[in-house]
Structure 1
Amino acid sequence: MIAEARLRKIIHDPQGFNERERKLIASSKSQIERWKSAVDFAFRRQYAVPVHLEIRDSGADPKVISRHAIITEMLDEDLKPIIEGRNKTAHGQWIWELNNLETQFKGRAADPMNYLAISRRGEIIDDLAEIVHVLIVSEPAFQREFDRLYGKIGTTRCVIDGNDYPQFEATIRSSGRQRIRSAMKDDRR
């Protein structure tokens, strides 16, 4: 839901797309296709790539072509699984996963995520949304911010599964005990 809301906010930024582009993006069938359309339109606008050419075949600077490919790959590899996982949960696929038509079982659903896994997926959505938003509204800002945001996503990818939750939990428990001890000392005074 966060990904969908962030995309809507990006698309309707007054400094971004015009009404025609918004309608074309909205006409895409799936949410991930809407994200890809937004990225595609933004690259075309910022780097003057005609609609009849693929960005990779446009003769644009290799760095531009590479960044387009990187963002498209992040949408497929990072955002798409988050969106699909949320949709499966929203449609009640908690124990058994169904095919796209919801007519047959594909197998067991993924185990529930812990707080860190959920939180880190939100971080990836936020960082991807920021990359796309900056691309849409300002090419110089995109050039300046791309490496920083891409690096943040790479770091988050390494810990997205939340396997470090036991350490996180221990830290929270420890800090809670310290606050209780401190409060008890204050009460004794």
Structure 2
Amino acid sequence: MTRNPSRIYKYHVANLRELELAIGHTGRLARSEIASKDPQKSLQSLLRLYAFLIGAWAETRLNKLLHEEFGFNDQLRELIKAKSSQLEQWHEAVDQAFRKHHNVPNAQLNDRTLGVSHAARRTALQDVLSNDLKIIIEIRNKLAHGQWVYPFNNGGTLIEHGKFQLINQENILSLQFKFALVAHLADAVHDLVVSPTTFERDFDDHFRCLNQARINLEKRSYPKYEAGLIKSREMARIARVSNQ
């Protein structure tokens, strides 16, 4: 089938490319600061910027997904966009993708309507959004409004201590894995909604990658990662001195 993507779709693709360049550059700067033991005390600012860019990428990736040529129709797109937050839109997009793929427009999504395997995968995708990606998706607006240290409530009268604690727990390793998570989640939903052929070919691979990123997020040690970057920088410095 010949593709004829809309202008809006192309615009979202272009925006994604620029965001990916910015994410890559910011990540390299953050890793360099870690390797050199953060002499300029800029690591926390770089991590905030990295988190902001991932949140912006997630929003743009969702918009690209909503405008796929053979994906959601206008009615479903408006239904998803009607949700009040980006996180809710993602949740709805996941459910509507399963509904579209399985031709279940109204019935409850469960083992009977989706099959045991797909019901479990839907639950896993929704859990990733609720438990692993929620802070990245929701914190973008706080960071966009300059709340880089203390996130306020919507009225600007109180600090949201839960979000303060969560955003301050993030490091470059956890953010990299969360970026991988949202990317694999988006690819999995794309496979569900766009075409049966794409689904059969790629969905399992995307889902496997998503699970691996989730395992890495839970088990990979940041102190070991940090020590590895510092050691690599020191070895490179010694090699340069030896070659002079």
TM over 0.5: yes
- The one of 122, 134, 139 aligned to 1:68: 122
Question: Is the 8 Å Cα contact of residues 114 and 162 (structure 1) preserved in structure 2?
Answer: no
Tell me what 1:149 maps to. Answer: 206
The correspondence of residues 1-189 of structure 1 with structure 2, limited to 5 A, is 1-50=56-105, 52-56=106-110, 59-107=113-161, 109-110=164-165, 111=168, 113-160=170-217, 164-187=221-244
Query: Of Structure 1 and Structure 2, which has the larger fraction of its residues in helix?
Result: 2
User: TM-score, normalization: structure 1?
Assistant: 0.78
> 1:43 offset after TM fit, Å?
1.5
Structure 2: state its 5+ residue gaps: 1-55
CA RMSD of aligned residues (A): 2.9
Q: After the TM superposition, which of the residue ranges 116-125 and 160-169 deviates more from structure 2?
A: 160-169
> 1:30 offset after TM fit, Å?
1.0
> 1:4 offset after TM fit, Å?
0.4
Question: Is the 8 Å Cα contact of residues 97 and 192 (structure 2) preserved in structure 1?
Answer: yes
Q: After the TM superposition, which of the residue ranges 173-182 and 30-39 deviates more from structure 2?
A: 173-182
> 1:94 offset after TM fit, Å?
4.6
> 1:144 offset after TM fit, Å?
5.0
Looking at structure 2, the residues matched to 78 and 119 of structure 1 have their Cα atoms a distance apart, in angstroms, of 12
Q: After the TM superposition, which of the residue ranges 159-168 and 169-178 deviates more from structure 2?
A: 159-168
> 1:134 offset after TM fit, Å?
1.5
Question: Is the 8 Å Cα contact of residues 120 and 156 (structure 1) preserved in structure 2?
Answer: yes
| Residue type at the aligned position of 1:7 | L
Structure 1: state its 5+ residue gaps: none
